[in-house]
Amino acid sequence: MEEKLPAATPVAPSAALELMWVMHFVEADHEHEGAFASLEPQRRRLGPELTRLRNDGVPQYSTELIVLAHRAGTLLDVNLDRFFDRIEESIADRSELPSLISESTAEVQVVRERLERLRTDPEHRKRYVGLLKVLWGSVGDEWQREGRPAVLVEARRWTRALEEGTAYRQLLQSPQLWPARPDLDAVADAAAAEGKLVLTPCWFGGKIHVIELDGAMYVGRGIRHAERSYKKVAAEISSSIKALADPTRLAILLRLARDAASVTEIARQFNISQPTVSAHVQVLREAGLLDEKMVGRSAKLSASEEGLRRLFANAEESLLRMFRS
C-alpha cells in the first residue's frame, strides 16, 4: 500500500487577524512601547470607547470579528476592503456558529451574544462597524508601508522552512500552543495531518493565537518579538499575577478548589451579582486557573491546580530570566 504523504501546511497573512490583535492591544491596561509603541495613541484614544461599546466584562477578546470574517469568506485577505463590503451581510447571517473548539464554553457564549446584539441592535451595529473602520484606518498606513510587506516575506520564509522539513511549532517558537489548553496541541496536529492547519504570521500579533473554525485551525504569532524590555516583562508578570490580586476573585478560586460550581451558585454564595462573578471568572479563565465542563445545561467551574502551578512557574521563569547569568 502506498504510504500517504503528510498534507502541506499553507501559510497566509490575515488582515482580519491583524485587526483582532489591534483590538487586543487597544484594550490593554498598560502602556505600549518598543515594537507596539505605534498602538499607544489608539490605546489611549479608542481603548475606553471599545470597552464601553462591548460592556460585557470581557476585554481584549474579539473572536466575534473572526467569525464575521469567516462568514464573509475574507479571513485570509491581506486587506479588509471586501470584509467591510460584506460585514452587514455577515452580521445578518443567522447560521449556526462555527465549532470554535479553541474557545471555552463561556467564550463561545460571549461570541454568540455579541453577534446577536450586532444583528438585532442597529445603533450598536453602527457604532461597532464604525469603530472597526476607525481602528483599521488608524493603522492602515503602517500596515501598507511595513506590516503587509513584512508578513508576506515571512509567509514565504515559513513556507520554505516547512518544505524543508521544519516542524510548524518550531516556526511558532512554542513547544506547546496554549498552556491553559493542552488539548489544542492534538487538535492542531490532527488538522495539520489533514491539511486543515493554516499558519498566519502577524505584524500586529502578540505571542501566539489559536482559533479553530469548523475543523480548520488558524495558528500564528507576531513576527516582531525580540528581547523583551523591563517594562514589558513587568507588565506581563503583573498581568498574570493580578488574577490573584483581588480578594474576592481569590476567594472564588479557593471556593472552586473545594468543589465545582456554576456562576449562579457562586453569585448566590458570595452575595454578588452574576455579571461581577462572570468578570472575575473571565480573569481567572484567561490566567488558565479554571477548568470547565457542562453538567446538563449548566457550566460547572473548578479551580485548576495545574494552572495555578503553571502561573507561578511562568512568573518565576520570566523574573529569573532577567537576572545576569
DSSP-derived secondary structure for 217-271: EEEE-BS---SPPHHHHHHHHHHHHGGGTSHHHHHHHHHHHHS-B-HHHHHHHHT
Q: Quick one: 10 exposed, middle or buried, by C-beta within 10 A (0-12, 13-18, 19+)?
A: middle
Distance CA 98, CA 199 (A): 19
Q: In the numeric block, which cell numbers belong to residue 91? A: 452580521
Domain boundaries, the chain: 15-220, 230-317
What gap in Å lies between CA 46 and CA 133, rounded to an integer?
Answer: 12
Alpha carbons 265 and 255: distance in angstroms, whole number: 11
Q: In the CATH scheme, what is the code of domain 230-317?
A: 1.10.10.10
pLDDT along the chain (325 residues), means of 10: 63 98 94 89 96 92 98 97 98 96 94 97 98 97 95 94 92 86 92 95 94 96 71 75 90 94 93 92 90 84 90 77 52
- Confidence at residue 321, expressed as pLDDT on a 0 to 100 scale: 58
The pLDDT score that the predictor gives to residue 219 is: 97
Q: What is the pLDDT of residue 3?
A: 46
pLDDT given for residue 68 in this prediction:
98
Q: What gap in Å lies between CA 66 and CA 318, rounded to an integer?
A: 31
So what's the pLDDT on residue 310?
84
pTM, two decimals, is: 0.72
